[in-house]
Structures are given as structure tokens and as C-alpha cells.
Amino acid sequence: MQDNSLYDMENSLLEDALDADPQADRILEGLNESQHEAVSSELRNMLIIAGAGTGKTRVLVSRIAWLIKHFHIAPRNIMAVTFTNKAATEMRERLALMVGNSVQMSLWANTFHSICLRLLRAYASYAGLIPGFTILDTDSQVSLVKRLMKDMNIDTKEFKPSDIASNISKQKENGIRALAFSKMISAKSPDYVKVTSQVYNVYERVCNQENSVDFSELLLRTVELLENNQEIRELQHRRFKEILVDEFQDTNAIQYRFLRLIAGPDSHVLVVGDDDQSIYGWRGADVSNMRKFLKDFSNVKEVLLALNYRSTQKILDVANTIIGFNSDRLMEKVLKGNFGEGEKVRILNCANNKTESSAVSERIASLHESGVAYRDIAILYRNNYLSLDFEQTLLRKHIPFVIYGGQKFFERAEILDAIAYMRILVNEDDDTALLRIINTPSRKIGPKVVDGLRTIANERNCSLIKAMRLLEAHVHSDNVDKTLASLYKKVAVFCDLLKVLKEKKESLSLSAFADEMLRITGLYQFYQEKDFKEGKDNEEHSRYANLGMLISNIKEFESNSTAPAVSDESAPESTADSDEKKEEDPLLTYLSNITLVSTGELNEDGETASGTDAVNLMTMHSSKGLEFKYVFLVGFEKDILPSRMCAFSDKSLAEERRLAYVGVTRAKTALYISYSQNRSLFGKVEATGASSFLRELVREYKGKHDVPLTIESISSASYY
């Protein structure tokens, strides 16, 4: 390692500047006793168990401000990990108000994936990557898996590429590479496991060839980088003195491994979580990480936040009762409210699903007539298919609504096409991107031409673009093969297009280049004509209009980019981080940012939907982290919640109960829980009835005087 005097000097200068700040104690103003304890605690490892609506974001932000203002920790020595980009942005904005924008800009406040990307950009060569590597979004990952499966003659109808891609990601999240996974396979292994292993081996090799990484690879490769390179690991240990992690109950195995590696012997780690809100076990989240933290980190201080600032007490009483039946809780917490008793929770016992949707829609109409904005109302359900009845009824009643979880802006075909052109301009080895747009719009480059290119690429062990260059060189040589000359003639138009795009990229601003790219490639005209043929040319969200919105998104990115997203020019010099001195290609930075944006945070416009005055429809899983004045929990019935899939698993049953708890605690002012006695599913009417969770709840209050709920039976005749 080189001398760290510059590193120490920077911290000393910042400490001197902060020493003069007399306003540190203002950070503690307005905090309750538990919050005050968490924020002002001495420097040490901490586990903050934060119940729903107890102000954990305020505590996290205030703790970071306290570290800077009171303990004089340099912002660049602080890492704050969030689970969504939206949460990271909110944290930075709130910090800017407390400590100043210039100070907060130098700390790392990002998601796990963004932080790992930042480290991999800085140490690409040490991680076995070429600088400028691209990130495969979910669509690109599935496309690549599908292509490989077809090459391997694996039936994509019997084995869905999306399932195989998901299985590969799960192995990576458990830290298992393709070779290690193949050694775990036996003759008795299920066929889908054997197929996953076969595809995983090829997938790993092709990703390395194409210099691309998927989301899970970002984490796994960073963990391997830190494990295998002591110099880089120790540099991070000196850098990050205070590490804070939000939503800790949602961390998986590889994220926990990363946390243990990034924290040095002199670092302090503060994690905030609520085991009662751990609802993502199905995608790898491990609630036991909270217990592991107490075991693996020394001298951990535990702080409980239980004063709720969101809901009325009757809603909290229902939530406390539901979750109280779980026996695997880290500690018992009873949420106390700050907004009075409130209305009783209304349980709607409906004759059937049509009656349920009508009853809910009528109450929504009445709320709106009384002055409640539609945006303050949410309908939450366990499974997406349950939304259909409510969509149809709301439409009939002319009640506007938005659905979370549909096709998002960056998942649209026209946007994916535009992004694919951008990707090959920053990474010529990205064959997955190239194959998407080599003939979009049509250039008469059919499957036979592509197969010819792939044959050359396989023979020369190179990318398709490099294969085109070999063809171009060949046709200008003395001994020209007619077959190869014919092949080049068919792809020459695309080769020429790439050359023009590269020139434009170097001479124009990012947004001006993107606009020119859409024109030169023909995507503007292609989708304008497609809209016209389908009668969608005058629609607000036509494909052509979406391309225009992409340009607006890029302009917004330009205006908000005050520094390269992953460079860190203040870092001390070393052989390991010299790449950080280089200014990153703005196009590469933009692609990295949009690929890492959680689609769950965006509506179809690529924006948050909070500004639309419409009823919010979403699954309970999607609702986590959100809150609404009026919440309708629908389909709260047998075999739906809890799901019939977890009938024989105590672990799964506990997670389903936590999901119900999350749904209940989204409500601020009033909560409605509805269920049907009969439900039409797959063309058949089945007797359903109340969820076992609801039965537990009602039994608990039977015979008691202070009951926080009321039950209303609604017959089918009420709405017919």
C-alpha cells in the first residue's frame, strides 16, 4: 500500500471544519426516548428493532448526521445501505437538510447492488472483468438463458427460461458457482435441477465472454473480490468506519457475507430491521440474519422502537394480535400509537367475490364523496389474480385506479431496444444486446445471416461485432471467399451504422446523442409506423411517445449528475484503485443507473405514481414500505392467506402471518378486511370463508369489552 497521509489529512481537515458546528444537539430535538437512545449512542455495533411506522428512516438519517456532527466522522468514512433506490434518494435528501449538500454527497448511501457495482467499477481488473462491463437486466438475462437453451437443444416449453434464470440467481445468492453446483448434482436430482446445472455452466462462461454481469453476479463477484484480495479488503476497512444497513430482515446469504467482509476490525455496524416484517423468504431473504448479527458481531447494543407514528390504536391492536401468534419472534413488541384510538377495523363478510368487489367499490365511492382523495386509498391482495374483480367493478363505477406490478417503463419493448443499442456502444462483447437489435428495425439480416456470424464468432472465440470486423478485413484482402463476402455484404449496413453511432457518441451530449441514435437507427420511424398501424398513434403512452419520454429521462439524469456515479476521486492512491481516477463514460453511468432501478418503484411512465389521484391496487408484498390513509385488505380467506402452499410448514405459515401484519400496518386512518364465503376460481365456485388468521383474531377478542373490530355480513342481494 502507498502512504495514507493524504487520506488522514482529508479526514483531519473535515474534522476541523465540523468542530466549529454548534448545532449538533438540534439533531436530537423531537426524538422519543428510544429514538434518542439509538441516535446518540456511543460508537458501537447496534441492532435497532424498529416496528412498523416507528420512524426508522428518521432514526437512520439522524444517526448519520450525529456521526458527522457530533463524532466528527468524515462522510466518506460512512456507508449507508438501503434496499431501494427511492429509499437511498430520500435518505440523501434528508441528510442534505441536516448536514449540508456538499457534506452528504461524499458518503456512500446506496443499495447493496449499487455499492457492489461501485466497487467493481473501481476494481474491475481485480475482479476478472474488463472496465466498461455491462449489467444484464432481468429481461436480458432471460433472453440469454433462452438462447443458450436453444443452442443446447433443451426444450424451452418443458423448462421455462425464466425459471432456469431464477434458479441460477438463487445459486449465486447462496455463493455457489457453476462448478460447485454441478458437483452437488446426483442421478436422483430432479430434472429441472440437472438442466439448471447444465445451463449454469454455459451461462457463466458466456457472461464472462460478453463481459456482462447479472444482478446476483454483482454481489457474488464483489464478495469474491473482497475475499481473495487482502489489499483491497483492508483498504475498504480503513475507509468505512461506520456502516448502517436498513431493512436488515430482508438481507440474504450473499448480502450478509458482504457485510461481514466490508466491516473491518475497527468498524461499527448498525442494522435496522423488524423480524415481524420479514416477508421475502421466497426470494432468499433470511430473517435469521438478525440473530446471526448478534452472534457474529461483538458487543451489540439492542434498541427497540415501538412508538408508532402512522396508525390509530385500534389498527395497531389488530396488528399486535395477529403477529402475536408467531412464536419465532426475536422479541415481543407491542406497538403503541400516537394518533388516538380511531375507528374500529371493519371486517366485511361477503357472500361471494362479486359481492366483495362491489362492497369495497361502494365504500371507496362514499369515501371520495366525503372528501377523501383516491390516492389515499389502497386495495391490497395476496395474489395478483385477485385484482380482476376490483378492476372491473371500479371501471364500471368510473373510479380511477393504478395497478402496481404491471409492465413498467424500462420493461417496454421499444425502451429495451433503445437501451440495447446503447449497451453495444459501451460493450462490444455484449452479444445479448446485439442479437436483440441487429435486425430491429428490419435490415434483412435474417436467422441464417446471424447463424453465419455466430459460427465465425465461435470458431474465433470472439463477439459477433468482432466477427463482423474479421469479415470486413477479409473482403479487403487478396483472397476473398465468396461466401464470406456475401455474408459481409448483408451485415455491412449494420457495421456502417455502428461506426456512425460511435462518432455521434463522442461528439454530442448524452441526451443529444440518444435522440440522434433513435433517429439514425430508425427506431423513431419504426415505432411511429407501428403505432399508426395499430391505431395507437394518438395515445398518450404510444411507443413513439415512450421513446420521447426516454430522452426526457436522460436529460433529467444529465441535470442531476453532479459527479460520476461510481468514481471516487477522493480515495487514496493505491495499485488497486487507480481506475477510480478515470472519469466514467456518461452513457455507461446512465445504463448502470437505470438497470439498477427497482421496477417496483416506478409506474408505466418511469416515475413514481404518487402524484396520480387514483386508487392504488397492489399485492401485500408490493405494499411494504408504503402507507395509505384508507386500506382495504381483500381476499383475506382460507387457502389464499395463508396460502394453501404453506399448510404443512410452520416456517412458511409464520411468514404468511407476517405478510398479513404488513398489510394491516399500511393503514393510517381506517382499515377494512374483507373475505368471501364463496369464490369463483378457474371457472368453478369454491367454498372458501375466513382466513385462519382472521379466526384467530376474532377468537382472541370474544367476550371482551374493548374490541377493536366490528363484523358486517353482506349478502349477494345487497348488490343485485
Examine the domain organization and report whether 111 and 231 are in the same domain. Answer: yes
* Residue 546 binned pLDDT confidence (cut-offs 50, 70, 90): confident
Global pTM reads 0.85
User: What is the rounded CA–CA span in Å between residue 304 and residue 327?
Assistant: 18
Percent residues over pLDDT 90 in the chain:
73
Residues 405-426 have a mean pLDDT of 86
User: What is the rounded CA–CA span in Å between residue 214 and residue 216?
Assistant: 6
Determine which of 278-292, 575-589, 660-674 has the lowest per-residue pLDDT on average: 575-589
Q: Is residue 128 part of a domain?
A: no
Q: Is residue 131 part of a domain?
A: no
Tell whether residue 522 is among the known ligand binding residues: no
Q: Is residue 414 part of a domain?
A: yes
User: What letter does residue 588 receive in the DSSP assignment?
Assistant: H
Cβ(408)–Cβ(445) below 8 Å: no
Cβ atoms within 10 Å, residue 439: 15
Examine the domain organization and report whether 389 and 522 are in the same domain. Answer: no
Examine the domain organization and report whether 82 and 97 are in the same domain. Answer: yes
Considering the candidates 35, 56, 239, 382, report the single residue annotated as catalytic: 56
Residue 708, H or E segment? none
CATH number at residue 154: 1.10.10.160
The residue segments making up the domain with residue 594 are: 410-599
Considering the candidates 666, 668, 679, 688, report the single residue annotated as catalytic: 666
Cβ(420)–Cβ(198) below 8 Å: no
Q: Is residue 456 part of a domain?
A: yes
Q: Is residue 64 part of a domain?
A: yes
Tell whether residue 703 is among the known ligand binding residues: no
DSSP secondary structure, 383-395, as one string? SGGGHHHHHHHHH
Active-site residue flag, 146: no
Looking at residue 611, its pLDDT comes to 61
* Residue 85 binned pLDDT confidence (cut-offs 50, 70, 90): confident
Examine the domain organization and report whether 23 and 80 are in the same domain. Answer: yes
Considering the candidates 137, 214, 247, 637, report the single residue annotated as catalytic: 247
Examine the domain organization and report whether 323 and 301 are in the same domain. Answer: no
Cβ(653)–Cβ(281) below 8 Å: no
Active-site residue flag, 277: yes
In terms of DSSP bridges, do strands 684-687 and 667-681 run parallel, antiparallel, or are they unpaired? antiparallel
Cβ atoms within 10 Å, residue 113: 21
Q: Does residue 176 sit in helix, strand or coil?
A: coil
Considering the candidates 277, 619, 665, 669, report the single residue annotated as catalytic: 277
Considering the candidates 57, 528, 599, 612, report the single residue annotated as catalytic: 57
Q: What is the pLDDT of residues 294-325, one digit of tens each?
A: 999 999 999 999 999 999 999 999 999 999 99
Q: What is the pLDDT of residues 157-177, one digit of tens each?
A: 999 999 999 999 999 999 999
Q: What is the pLDDT of residues 52-73, one digit of tens each?
A: 999 999 999 999 999 999 999 9
Examine the domain organization and report whether 475 and 336 are in the same domain. Answer: no
Q: Is residue 626 part of a domain?
A: yes
Examine the domain organization and report whether 26 and 146 are in the same domain. Answer: no
Residue in the structure block whose three cell numbers are 455457489: 176
Tell whether residue 337 is among the known ligand binding residues: no
CATH number at residue 448: 1.10.486.10
Examine the domain organization and report whether 267 and 318 are in the same domain. Answer: no
Active-site residue flag, 57: yes
Residues 244-258 have a mean pLDDT of 96
Examine the domain organization and report whether 417 and 556 are in the same domain. Answer: yes
User: What is the rounded CA–CA span in Å between residue 255 and residue 293?
Assistant: 12
Q: Is residue 344 part of a domain?
A: yes
Residues 278-302 have a mean pLDDT of 93
Residues 658-673 have a mean pLDDT of 97
Tell whether residue 52 is among the known ligand binding residues: yes
Examine the domain organization and report whether 87 and 230 are in the same domain. Answer: yes
User: What is the rounded CA–CA span in Å between residue 324 and residue 403?
Assistant: 31
Residue type, 396: R
The structural domain count of the chain equals 4
Looking at residue 602, its pLDDT comes to 44
Q: Is residue 45 part of a domain?
A: yes
- Which of 305, 332, 362 marks a domain boundary? 305
Examine the domain organization and report whether 439 and 511 are in the same domain. Answer: yes
Helical ranges in 297-352 per DSSP H? 313-323
Examine the domain organization and report whether 74 and 223 are in the same domain. Answer: yes
- Which of 278, 305, 332 marks a domain boundary? 305
Tell whether residue 284 is among the known ligand binding residues: no
Cis peptide before 642 (omega within 30 of 0): yes
Tell whether residue 54 is among the known ligand binding residues: yes
CATH number at residue 65: 3.40.50.300
Cell digits of residue 7? 487520506
- Which of 276, 305, 334 marks a domain boundary? 305
Phi, psi values for residue 506, rounded to 5°: -75, -25
Considering the candidates 210, 214, 246, 515, report the single residue annotated as catalytic: 246
> Residue 17 above 60 pLDDT?
no
Q: What is the dihedral of CA 81, 87, 92, 95, to 10 degrees?
A: -90
User: What is the rounded CA–CA span in Å between residue 216 and residue 167?
Assistant: 11
* Residue 2 binned pLDDT confidence (cut-offs 50, 70, 90): very low
